Chains A and B, each alone.
Chain A
């Protein structure tokens, strides 16, 4: 910072103006809402205004210089680099689903808070400053220079593998971001899902296509400000309402004992027990049907046909006939389908038959073993998220953009600082929303349900995001009769708290900013790996700088369209892989990055072995233990979840680097010299 005080001051002035204008915009829309502007228009206004804003910043920051395009000219002040990295980091999943996840999982969900923040210690202490000292452009650059080998000692093999890992990890992640953009756009503006995707894509492209790292850095700072405001306003409102203190992260401590008392009361409540008994009965019924397969499938089918015939024969009302028709149409097609479908329903009903778990209690379990198992999985998830964080290429490439090594260290501090402004509030929101729902919704009358419930229940009819049904027929809402999806909580918070619709629009804009900023960074990481590492370093080392930037821009366009196309297919299997991306990144890249700095003896052969073994162990475990990928949890090692495969992958990678390095000749003098250089003070 001290190197360029005038530049820093100018930037600070710009962004203060920007924040002021944004506040005015909010006030103006709020006034328009008072005057009766329809909801849909507010949604449109927020969506198009913010996307246009990001595009304008992209146009202003357009560039065709190599250092500007790849590393923003290496002159981003530490604080702004931290802010941009924070936006890069806070993905659609953190913004939209994390608070909902904490609401549903209680203590277990905190693994994500710990993992996604603690990983920055590894980034700051072990990797980022050394990358900055090295001062090139990408993560594969560093690995290739450090490990050398291959044709002409240029490290092509190491580079190619690092590029592969970068692309694999970033691509699954970017598809999820673009998917989220489509989801938010379609819910708040009513446009079609795929149109929403391409609208979001347009803004990503204008920005990163024209200005590369330089444009996305300044856009991400703008996006961070929007997402912070969008997350804090409704949470502060809830906090002031329930805890008389507008700072949620401080206030919710006083609510926790009250919440625990409410939970204990609800667990004993006889009406709640009635509803739970009904769910148990339904679960038992499905269990009985599964046990009686295949006969139960045939009798069930006959029953459904008979009911339809009976309804038609006695001239029943149209809705009754429709219902019978639908029951027959959705009846499982085969015995196998029936088995999986009914088992799923049995488990879902069983889950709802359980009394609420105490929110603040760590690892509740019937037995000591069950509780220990939950603790071990918590630790494993934290481990994977931390080591994955320290190996995600789109975060690490940020280390190159600051003016000095010291600025890189300071910038990681600011990154975590700005992430924590949001992340310390997320557990607070979960507790506040839970308290609100337990006190105002539970026990209220079915005839007077709040409007947000019917609104969100109707958004996706096939898999309702919110559902309330009077199971025991007493006309009063019981907690067990209410179910909410993790993705809805944040988007519905303004309405749960009774705020005007303009805040709901703001929250949607915040979610959009979170998804777009992360997608920007990821796309740039992919296209840089392809253009700089593959094209320039491996295919055509003689390319002019002009040509390199042009190629990079074209590749970005191509990758963006492929990612958007994949996202528009709504690929459930890719989305489930996102959590796995952290394990894969950690297992493949973390060992070579860290040993490259801290162990001089690590050599070319060791690096290749480490990347292969880390990746293979991680992938093997996921295939073995994940039911989505064709394995079963019964095959899991120590009962560790497949998502936390990095627990095995990272140590395996480290071991492989060490063993193979020691069995093969030491690295060249050049590699050693480079290690000395990156360790030396600036």
Chain B
């Protein structure tokens, strides 16, 4: 945050509020995404193991589905989750930085 000197104290107050709102929005969004991704992780990891016996009737690329999920699928989905998270967070961070810069810019 660069120090700035708006002339009008009410404007300064507004700027501070807008900055706080931008930060709150950023946190709200990243928390929601974290929750969603964790739910996906839980379903693909623990869910497929819990129903492994039922799922072993199905086949995927020649593997029994439950064996494939435990040996490769769950790990690959984890990798995808981490990759998506890193990509999405970079965008959220950038949006929030822009919003904060706009809020603090003297108008």
Contact = CB atoms under 8 A, between A and B. Distances in A.
A86 to B, nearest CB: 12
Contacts of A107: 52, 66-67, 70
Interface residues of B, number: 44
B96 interface: yes
Contact of B49 (A114, A124, A129, A681): A114
Nearest to B22: A681
Given A118-B74, A409-B86, A420-B79, A375 B50 contact: yes
A229 interface: no
B53 interface: yes
A382 B46 contact: yes
Contact of A681 (B26, B31, B78): B26
B75 A413 contact: no
Given A413-B79, A420-B76, A124 B85 contact: yes
Interface in B36-95: 37-38, 41, 45-46, 49-50, 52-53, 56, 61-64, 66-68, 70-72, 74-76, 78-79, 81-83, 85-86, 89-90, 92-94
A423 B75 CA distance: 9
A362 B52 contact: yes
B34 interface: yes
Contacts of B79: 117, 413, 416-417, 420
Given A118-B41, A681-B26, A125 B85 contact: yes
B79 to A, nearest CB: 5
A503 B62 CA distance: 31
B62 to A, nearest CB: 4
B82 A256 contact: no
Contacts of B63: 253, 256, 360
Contacts of B30: 679
Contacts, number: 135
A424 B75 CA distance: 8
A345 interface: no
Contacts of B82: 120-121, 124-125, 409, 412-413, 416
A118 B78 contact: yes
Nearest to B97: A681
Nearest to A250: B61
Interface in B1-45: 23, 26-27, 30-31, 34, 37-38, 41, 45
Contacts of B49: 114, 362, 375, 378-379, 382
B58 to A, nearest CB: 12
Contacts of A409: 82, 85-86, 89-90
B30, B37, B68, B79 interface centre (most CB from chain A within 10 Å): B79
A492 B44 CA distance: 34
Contacts of B86: 124, 406, 409-410, 412-413
B41 A121 contact: yes
Contacts of B61: 253
Interface in A391-427: 405-406, 409-410, 412-413, 416-417, 420, 423-424, 427
B37 A121 contact: yes
A327 interface: no
A371 interface: yes
Interface in A61-88: none
Given A110-B67, A256-B67, A375-B53, 16 more contacts: A107-B66, A118-B41, A121-B37, A121-B41, A253-B61, A360-B63, A362-B49, A362-B66, A379-B50, A405-B93, A406-B86, A406-B93, A413-B83, A420-B76, A424-B75, A681-B96
17 contacts: A107-B66, A107-B70, A114-B75, A124-B81, A125-B85, A126-B34, A256-B62, A256-B64, A360-B64, A360-B67, A362-B53, A375-B52, A379-B49, A382-B46, A412-B86, A413-B83, A681-B92
- Report the 7 A-B pairs with minimum CB-CB distance, sorted nearest first: A362-B52, A409-B86, A253-B62, A110-B70, A117-B75, A681-B93, A681-B96
